Structure 1
Amino acid sequence: MEVLFKIVLGFILNYPGAYLRWLFFKEKAYDEYLEDISINYIISIIVIALILTLYNIFIKT
């Protein structure tokens, strides 16, 4: 179960973070951005927090 959780969490947090970094910088190939897992996690968590904050401000009120 723990392995499945890590795979799903890695997919949800790693790929979007790498994609955003690739979209903004495009200095390296997309595959190379996938190697920096911790940076991708941080970027994905920041984006998720931003989306939730905007949702609470504009839609939920």
Structure 2
Amino acid sequence: MARAAGSAAPIDAQGLRKALLDFERTPGRFAVVMREPRVVFEHPLPVLQLAAGRSVPALQSLG
């Protein structure tokens, strides 16, 4: 079942950070067509904010 637009799960900041770093190092390892790594596709707004060079409050404590 798909989530409603306003009911996104809380960000797993540590998991998102790890998934983005893994994806940057070896993008061919992930089945993007199948929306993997999942944590990246569950939280598109923070990913886009990072890509735009903006700060993401949930990730600031991770350094």
Same fold? TM cut 0.5: no
Larger Rg: 1
* Structure with the higher helix share, 1 or 2: 1
Higher relative contact order (CA 8 A, sep 6+): 2
TM-score by length of 2: 0.33
